[in-house]
Amino acid sequence: MSADPAPNSPVSRLWSFIRAILDLVLDLSFKRLVTPRLIRVVYALSLVGAVIYAFEWMMSGWMGFLTAPLALLAYAIAARVMVELILVVFRIVEKIAPLDPNAATPDDVLSKLKKPGA
């Protein structure tokens, strides 16, 4: 009676994505790393939050019209630099992993971020 969705349906892709995320989160041995897979979402959400905050800041007073865009630009640059630093650390781990059989990541972590059709 359990009808599985078609293999290429959006529901099937969503379900497999949810199962993959739960598998990563519940991996208590930390053999697979979650951060490289979620960093794009965290970065996008932080930028959306910064834009909302900057808009509120602009509406708070006349000085906000001058300072909010500059603060938004500074935040966007700082957030991008932090994300790139985090990804550099994971690229280093990715390059070192073949040298150490007990490394935290046995598979190519960042290559999993590429889209399947690309």
Residue 112 has a pLDDT of 53
Give residue-wise pLDDT tens across range 93-102. Answer: 888 877 776 6
Q: Model's pTM, two decimal places?
A: 0.63
Per the CB < 8 A criterion, the answer to whether 32 and 107 are in contact is yes
SS in 3 state form for the chain?
Answer: CCCCCCCCCHHHHHHHHHHHHHHHHCCCCCCCCCHHHHHHHHHHHHHHHHHHHHHHHHHCCCCHHHHHHHHHHHHHHHHHHHHHHHHHHHHHHHHHHHHCCCCCCCCCCHHHHCCCCC
- Decide if pLDDT at 106 tops 90: no
Residue 29 has a pLDDT of 80
